[in-house]
Amino acid sequence: MTDLPAGLDDLAIETPSWAYANSGTRFKVFAQKGVPRDPFEKIADAAQVHAFTGAAPTVALHIPWDKVSDYSLLAAYAVDRGVRLGAINANVFQDDDYLLGSVTHPDPRIRRKATDHLLECVDIMDATGSRDLKLWFSDGINYPGQDDIRTRQDRLGDALTEVYARLGDDQRILLEYKLFEPAFYVTDVPDWGTSLLHCLALGPKATVCVDTGHHAPGTNIEFIVASLLRAGRLGAFDFNSRFYADDDLMVGAADPFQLFRIMYEVVRGGGLDPSAGVAFMLDQCHNVEPKIQGQIRSVMNVQEATAKALLVDAAALRAAQDGGDVLAANAVLMDAYDTDVRPLLATWREQRGLDADPIAAYKASGYFDEIVAGRVGGTQAGWGA
């Protein structure tokens, strides 16, 4: 059997608190049994994912969905459960005031309110010990002429500059981009170029977050990953799968080959090394599948893609590339992709005292029955209604 290459131990996946709560589409949120009723219970569920995979040690929070009166208490609770709090996700997209935008809104009063929320999120990071402030802006316009495209970029730059100045030495901004939705003509941060331009203007503590579902169909995401790593500005992934738009399905479900190509560029660019500072986060909603199992499956899918990427014979690949042997070079990559790494990962888990089959072990643990019996009236993640 092929040996599992070193490097897999470096892979730490962050799960999102909102993945454990009820979610749905704009048509309906189907309530599932046993879903968390508060942020503490979301963390308890996230801890299960880590307990069975050994690869999901942190949980991202979303403010205000995860608002509590004492964040240090929440952080201590997480540690007690064997996990830590991760990125703080700001929310400037669910208030009536943000009809025409948040930090890019024409009215300075609304811009102030939005920027103040971002600053409040940095205060929360101080209490939770979080390194990352993840910013996704729904800001944009629907009609040509509705607002001035350039002025909106200036307003965005001003808000980011103020937040950047508030960051501690070890804190960062992760600036996420998204092609469209909810804005349909211009989104103020639509692509990695715009995000990178703002990050470069801000300074080294500003990096780009690549949500794999936020591109036009056919976009070569691994090229973006390679370019950002090369520039030292790949801060994070929001992993998920999409068939059409921002579907937020389980990562690796729609296109496992794309996930492999992305992870190959991560490995190639040194992004797996913790010193590179790339956060491997999931941004998914489990609408029809059980949520904790959905997260476990996603973690396993990222592990499998990473293991395959680590198996690429770098020397053979370079030799074929340098020799201009197109087919041999392609074959080196495909050989790694076609390797069944599941037995290797089963061994990796057993060597770490974990069950070889995390999903079966979770199902047998009785945790699900426990939460179904103990939790009544779980909350909605915050999306859709």
Q: Calculate ∠ Cα 25-28-34, nearest 5°.
A: 95
* CA–CA separation, 158 and 63 (whole Å): 22
- Cβ distance to ligand AOS smaller for residue 5 or 24: 24
- Cβ distance to Zn ion smaller for residue 265 or 283: 283
* CA–CA separation, 99 and 96 (whole Å): 6
Site string for Zn ion, 280-299 (x = CB under 5 A): ---x----------------
Binding-site size for Zn ion (CB under 5 A) equals 4
Residue of the chain from 14, 132, 191, 238 that contacts ligand AOS (CB under 6 A): 238
Coil, strand, or helix at residue 219?
Answer: coil
CA 370 to chain centre: 28
* CA–CA separation, 320 and 268 (whole Å): 16
Of residues 162-181, which lie at the interface with ligand AOS (CB under 6 A)? 176, 178
For 221, the enclosing helix (H) or strand (E) is: helix 221-230
14 touches Zn ion by CB under 5 A: no
Minimum CB separation of residue 9 from Zn ion in Å reads 26
Tell the burial category of 370 from Cβ atoms under 10 Å away from its Cβ (0-12, 13-18, 19+): exposed
Site string for ligand AOS, 292-331 (x = CB under 6 A): ----------------------------------------
Site string for ligand AOS, 109-148 (x = CB under 6 A): ---------------------------x------------
89 touches ligand AOS by CB under 6 A: yes
- Cβ distance to ligand AOS smaller for residue 212 or 311: 212
CB 179 within 8 A of CB 137: no
Minimum CB separation of residue 17 from Zn ion in Å reads 13
Residue of the chain from 246, 265, 304, 355 that contacts ligand AOS (CB under 6 A): 246
Tell the burial category of 141 from Cβ atoms under 10 Å away from its Cβ (0-12, 13-18, 19+): buried
* CA–CA separation, 142 and 100 (whole Å): 10
62 binds, among ligand AOS, Zn ion, none (CB under 5 to 8 A by kind): ligand AOS
- Tokens at 345, concatenated: 């990962």
Residues forming the site for ligand AOS (CB under 6 A): 18, 62, 89, 136, 176, 178, 211, 238, 246, 283
